[in-house]
Amino acid sequence: MSETKDIITMAHGSGGQASHELMSRVFGKYFHNEILDALEDAAVLDMEAGKLAYSTDSFVVTPLFFKGGNIGKLCIAGTVNDLLMMGAEPKYLTCGFIIEEGFPIEDLDRIAATMAEEAAKAGVLIAAGDTKVVDGQGGLYINTSGIGIIPEGRAARAANMKTGDKIILSGNLGDHQACIYSARMGIENEIRSDCGVLKDITDALYGAGITPHTMRDVTRGGLGTILNELCKAAGCGMRIEESQIPVDEKVAGLAGILGLDPLYMANEGKMIAVVAEEDADKALEAMRQTEHGKHAMVIGTVTEDANVQLVTGLGGVRVLDVLYGEGLPRIC
């Protein structure tokens, strides 16, 4: 092997020998399957007829490594979860890397290893990939896209929500954003990102004979934003009990310091499931048996109102709107 610099250089993106070296040294180590190993221009997939769910997302988080995960875990879980939320069985992912020159190969190795691990947990194959190297200061951006098959009768959509349905939140709000902000601002704590694949929850629900009407993962903009988006799409309202919303004490503490509201903080491993009223107890129990859903709570009900209403601990009622602005840490 020629003198190895342990960083990514433009040569690695040029398609020549350095690129091949990178492929075998890093990607080939972790991403193996019949489809990839064929080294064709595109993946040819043999899929059952029926409805497919198809999603894409790009990941630009910094720092790349944080308590509870890294950008690799995020980029797999994020797209897999989007498919799961539609009621789909995730099957195949693609991943595209844009790497800035100077990126340490050792870090790329760790990230690829995490991606392979997470993909295996989700039962998905990485069917296609691409790498580009650009000028920069050692940053990394990843795009993933995914396909899943929606079994008959399982499609989950906002429009399926009915008045009286119960809304179940899978666990504590704000963990991911709290973890990232803590890392960026040097605030010491034990907060871990909640990023992860939510297949254990969806499998548990289906296993208990429950087909949720609607599911949504609680990502950027937080719970407040996605509840509003769902209501807007479905033309319904919601009534949410503030006292039932779970927030980890450490995250609440951090949010207090930075002037943030957990209702609007991003998560990467939380979801809501909207189920028929008669299924709520069984759904809650099923979710609580899982790793990702152990703190699940029934937080509210679908209504005929035109908005999302929040009932406070003292019985006051206020309207919960979407997040405006960036939710920058404030002091005042």
Partner 1 sequence: MCIAIPGKVVEVDGMRARVDYSGNQVTVNTGLVEPKVGQYVLVHAGCAIEVMEKDKAEELIELFADIEELGA
Partner 2 sequence: MNEQLARIVSYLKDYDGPEIRLMEVCGTHTAAIFKGAIRSLISPKIHLISGPGCPVCVTPAAFIDKCVEYAHMDGHVLYSFGDMLKVPGTAGSLSDHKGQGAHVEVVYSPFEVLEKAAAQPEVTHVVAAVGFETTAPIYGLMIREMQEKDIHNVRLVTAIKTILPALTWICDSQPEIDGFICPGHVCVIIGSDPFLPLAEKYKKPFVVAGFEPEHLLVTIYDLVCQIEAGEHNVGNHYKNAVHAAGNRKALDVLEEYYEPGAAVWRGLGSIPDSGLYISEKYQEYDGGSFGLDQDIELPPACRCADVITGRINPADCPMFASGSCTPTSPYGPCMVSAEGACGIWYRNR
Stretch that binds partner 1, among 21-29, 50-58, 246-254, 276-284 (CB under 8 A): 246-254
User: If binding means CB under 8 A, how many residues of this protein chain bind partner 2?
Assistant: 19
Identify the bridge partners of residue 215 per DSSP, sorted by sequence position: 273
Element (DSSP H or E) covering residue 308? strand 308-311
Contact between 252 and partner 1 per CB under 8 A: yes
Distance CA 245, CA 223 (A): 10
CB of 256 to partner 2, least distance (A): 11
247-257 b/e (C-beta count within 10 Å ≥ 16 → b):
bbebbeebbee
- Residue 303 Cβ vs partner 2, minimum distance, rounded to whole Å: 16
**For 179-211, b where at least 16 C-beta lie within 10 A, e where not — what string?**
bbbbbeeeeeeebbbbbbbbbbbbebbbeeebb
Q: Which 235-274 positions form the footprint of partner 2 (CB under 8 A)?
A: 258
Nearer to partner 1, 50 or 186 (CB): 186
From 76-84, 98-106, 201-209, 312-320, span contacting partner 2 (CB under 8 A): 312-320
DSSP lists the bridge partners of residue 298 as 168
Please tell me the distance from the alpha carbon of residue 221 to that of residue 296, in angstroms, as a whole number: 20
Partner whose footprint covers residue 318, from partner 2, partner 1, none (CB < 5 to 8 Å by kind): partner 2
The answer to the question of residue 328 lying near partner 2 (CB under 8 A) is: yes
Query: Which of partner 2, partner 1, none has residue 184 at its interface (CB below 5 to 8 Å by kind)?
Result: none
188 binds, among partner 2, partner 1, none (CB under 5 to 8 A by kind): partner 1
Q: For residues 201 and 270, what is the distance between their CA atoms, to the nearest angstrom?
A: 10
Helix (H) or strand (E) holding 280: helix 280-288
Among 46, 249, 304, 316, binds partner 2 (CB under 8 A): 316
Identity of the amino acid at 292: H
Cβ closer to partner 1: 315 or 330?
Answer: 330
Nearer to partner 2, 32 or 184 (CB): 184
With CA atoms as reference, report the closest residue to 222 among 252, 251, 190, 263: 263
Given partner 2, partner 1, none, residue 317, with its beta carbon under 5 to 8 Å by kind, binds partner 2
Where does residue 96 rank: exposed (0-12), middle (13-18), buried (19+ CB within 10 A)? middle
Rule CB under 8 A: choose which of 150, 257, 276, 284 binds partner 1: 257
Minimum distance of partner 2 from residue 253's CB (angstroms): 15
d(CA 39, CA 44): 11
Whether the CA torsion 272, 277, 282, 285 is positive or negative: it is positive
SS3 178: helix
Binder of partner 2 out of 60, 134, 159, 185 (CB under 8 A): 185
Structure tokens at 99: 């790497």
Q: Shortest Cβ distance from residue 328 to partner 2 (Å)?
A: 4
Residue type, 176: H
Query: Which partner, partner 1, partner 2, none, binds residue 135 by CB below 5 to 8 Å per kind?
Result: none
Q: Which residues bind partner 1 (CB under 8 A)?
A: 182, 187-191, 249-250, 252-254, 256-257, 259, 330-332
Q: Which residues bind partner 2 (CB under 8 A)?
A: 185, 258, 310, 312-319, 321, 324-325, 328-332
